[in-house]
A and B are shown apart, each in its own frame.
Chain A
Amino acid sequence: MANTNKMIFAMVAGILYVVFGILKMLEGFGIETGLAESLLIPGDFFGGFCFVVIGAVFLYAVKELSAGVHMGVSYVYVGILMSLVFMAVYLLVMGADLLMFYAVKSEDYEGWRIIDSMRPGIYLGLLSLIGYFYWKDRFTTEMTKV
């Protein structure tokens, strides 16, 4: 059943976003999690909160779908859309960094590498991008219909 796929997807995405969100919030408070460097997690309290919200949306989908509520897929779609919005935000931030490095040649950006602007919002967003294309029909046809 298609909903089983969506449920598994929502479960994985939900847990990832909640965990990363909590890590961002902890780092934002100045609590060293030891994972900041390897996972490129910035300390960012509000940004972390947003991740937790996205994760909660996915997990709500799991809750409804597992209770047999078909409309629970709504939360999968909204979770995907939100994580894509955040992916876009972090890509824009990366674009801004590129401009600072190449066009402005700011002193603060000496030795900057593109990986320095890589954020969980971008690589976790890839997961949602896959989901988006996998269930693309739902997004494109319905979007234009309304």
Chain B
Amino acid sequence: MEKKKITIALAGNPNVGKTTLFNAITGARQHVGNWPGVTVEKKTGKRTYKDTEIEVVDLPGTYSLTAYSLDEVVARDYVVEEIPDVVVQIVDATNLERNLYLTTQLMELGSKVVIALNMWDLAESRGDKIDTRKMEDFLEIPVVKTVANRAEGIDALLEEVVREVDKGEHHEHEVSYGDDIEKKIIELEGIVGKDSALSGKYPVRWLSVKLLDGDENILEKIEGSSVATQVNSVLSTIKKDDYEAAMAEKRYETINTVLPQICVKCVNEVTFSDMIDRAVTNKYLGIPIFLAMMWAAFEVTFTVATPLMEFVDMFFGWLAGVVAQSITNPVLGSLLGDGIIAGVGSVMIFLPNILLLFLMISLLEDSGYMARAAFVMDKLMYKIGLNGGSFIPLLMGFGCNVPAIMATRTIEDEKERLVTILVNPFISCGARLPVYLMLAGAFFGRNAGTVIFGIYILGIIVAILSAKLIRGTVVKGKPSPFIMELPPYRLPTLKASAIHMWEKGSIYLKKAGTIILAGVVFVWLLSAIPAPGVDAAFASEEILGTEDSLIGVLGHIIEPLVAPLGFDWKVAVALVFGFIAKEIVIGSMGVLYGTGEDEDALAEILTAGAMTPLTALGLMVFTLLYVPCIACVGVVKKETGSWKWTLFMMVYGTALAWIAAFLIYRIGTAIGWGL
């Protein structure tokens, strides 16, 4: 059998045992020459491990990969331009903090790295407890313990190297430089990416980072390129020295959040923040803890809102009474009572839920826990072709998909961003909640909470599977590195969270006063106009919301589309108008069934035969999945810049919704649930 040939480069700080390890691997059969053009010594050697022939290149020892010295330039150029199959970084286990600085830079270069955790014997005798499994988790780099001068761990190291080469894909983590610097990085990436000679040769993010770092060597490379003027104009807007210092600090900050998790004894002081992180980023407990926190937020949103909803209900009941008593004009009375109060009231009643939901999201964000959740979910997100960075925009979708989709702007990779946008509408937003609350409350009584939680879970599952599907077919590509950021925990203040809650919640209020109001008035208008050939007055009792009104005619036209799902024409109409805003599904049902603002009356009519638990479940699932509201469609168009993708999302979602509701109805009926 033909032997496989690979090249590995040994990198590391000075005095970490690089030469010793080189000798241990190659048996000191080495070739000494000079690096091209410079007088730095270049050593190469060979080793055959199992059926792989490994060429080993010893790089000059360096503390970083910024072009401060000739050694650094040589080491870096080799890694960037020759692209060894694997870079083995030799890390001195007794000096992790300093050694990991080089690691952060290798991560940025996107090289496949394996860490040889050398001087393990010294670290152990000193009593350091380094958790290599955790180290692998945090860095997403394989770690092998070695003692080079006793040739221990060499085979394990080579085994890992060979495995890493065979792996094909790998998922990196990178340092986050904070909002301001990240913005500049993204700006530069946009510019540098346009020069295909540069972007073909070097990782674009790395180039941008180095430019901000004031790296002379990279600046020279840019000078001769087509984007020189543009890059310089961006760079002229910043103070280079400040940036360089700030970026180095950020790298150390990242190392210092990771270090206490990897090695307790290696740091002088373990903060409470470090301790919490240890538990909430635990390999096994991280995701369950996250789910438990979500459930707590969910429980508060639903249960605590109940009495508050009663108050809102009382208010609208009172309002309806006042209107009924004081307005004598029947048309105006109907517009106010059957149209506006019925429609807007049945939406406003859910304001407490919406506010509490936003309050919970704000609390989780403000405490710093959200960033941990993104970290914990990174592995899972990677499996569906995204990374942890897509997680927060998805989570925000539980509030409202519009700001959530705008939040995808922090995702650098265009393809990942596109997929995150396309699946975001499946994350059930606050506007859909009234529909579930109404229907689940009416049909599932004691189990309503479980049913609604199940609907949310279904949304998540559909989003995940869709992302995987889309990523595997129409938007192929490798997930980009995850940018790590673990800000310190803060005790969230109720005031700050309340302000955040209000910022988001007031949008809901405004929506109720404008677009939902307009929507329900329109529905009322259509239901007040007599159908052609029907002899009745405008807005008269006997035609309102019945088949004798214009809306009845329209409803019957579209009814065949949803009849296979067990929906009648009123539901069909409600769904059509739900495109304006999902709350209108319930708002217009209030108008169409003529139950006014009274939720309980609507529930009674529905359970009395207008619907079955099965069609109610189908309607909830349909509402979850079908075309998102008009505002959401608008933002998808704006953010993707493409009608093609916007239409794709609309058609895909609606088709899924139809199929799901169809299956629920058919299978449920077949096994006898549809009573």
Contact = CB atoms under 8 A, between A and B. Distances in A.
Do A and B originate from a single complex?
yes
Interface string B270-281: 111111101110
A139 B276 CA distance: 11
Contacts of B291: 49-50, 53
Contacts of B246: none
18 contacts: A47-B299, A50-B295, A53-B289, A56-B285, A60-B285, A73-B275, A74-B275, A77-B279, A78-B276, A92-B303, A96-B304, A96-B307, A99-B307, A100-B310, A142-B272, A143-B489, A146-B272, A146-B488
Interface string B286-325: 0011011101100110011111101100100000000000
A104 B450 contact: no
A6 B307 CA distance: 40
B132 interface: no
Given A28-B450, A75-B278, 9 more contacts: A46-B450, A47-B295, A56-B285, A73-B275, A74-B279, A85-B293, A85-B296, A96-B306, A142-B271
Given A74-B275, A78-B276, A96-B306, A46 B295 contact: yes
A74 B273 contact: no
Contact of A53 (B288, B300, B489): B288
B278 A104 contact: no
A74 B271 contact: no
- The binding surface of chain A is classed by DSSP as helix
A8 interface: no
A146 B307 contact: no
Tell me which of A71, A73, A145 has the highest count of chain B C-beta atoms within 10 A of its own C-beta. Answer: A71
Contacts of A49: 291-292, 295
Interface of A: 28, 45-47, 49-50, 53-54, 56-57, 60, 69-71, 73-75, 77-79, 81-82, 85-86, 89, 92-93, 95-96, 99-100, 103-104, 106, 138-139, 142-143, 145-146
Interface string B441-464: 000000000100100000000000
Interface string B216-235: 00000000000000000000
Interface of B: 129, 264, 270-276, 278-280, 282, 284-285, 288-289, 291-293, 295-296, 299-300, 303-308, 310-311, 314, 450, 453, 488-491
A77 B293 contact: no
Nearest to B277: A74
Nearest to A78: B279
A100 B279 contact: no
Given A50-B296, A143-B491, A57 B271 contact: no
B410 to A, nearest CB: 24
Nearest to B313: A104
A49 B295 CA distance: 10
A57 B285 contact: yes
A93 B308 CA distance: 12
Contacts of A56: 285, 288
A60 B282 contact: yes
B450 A45 contact: yes
Given A146-B272, A146-B273, A50 B307 contact: no
Contacts of B310: 100, 104, 106
A75 B288 contact: no
A71 B275 contact: yes
B296 A74 contact: no
B284 to A, nearest CB: 8
Contacts of A142: 271-273, 275
A125 B276 CA distance: 19
B604 to A, nearest CB: 14
B279 A57 contact: yes
A32 to B, nearest CB: 16
A138 B272 contact: yes
A50 to B, nearest CB: 4
Contacts of B299: 47, 89, 93
B556 to A, nearest CB: 39
B275 A89 contact: no
A145 B489 CA distance: 10
Given A46-B453, A106-B310, A143 B280 contact: no
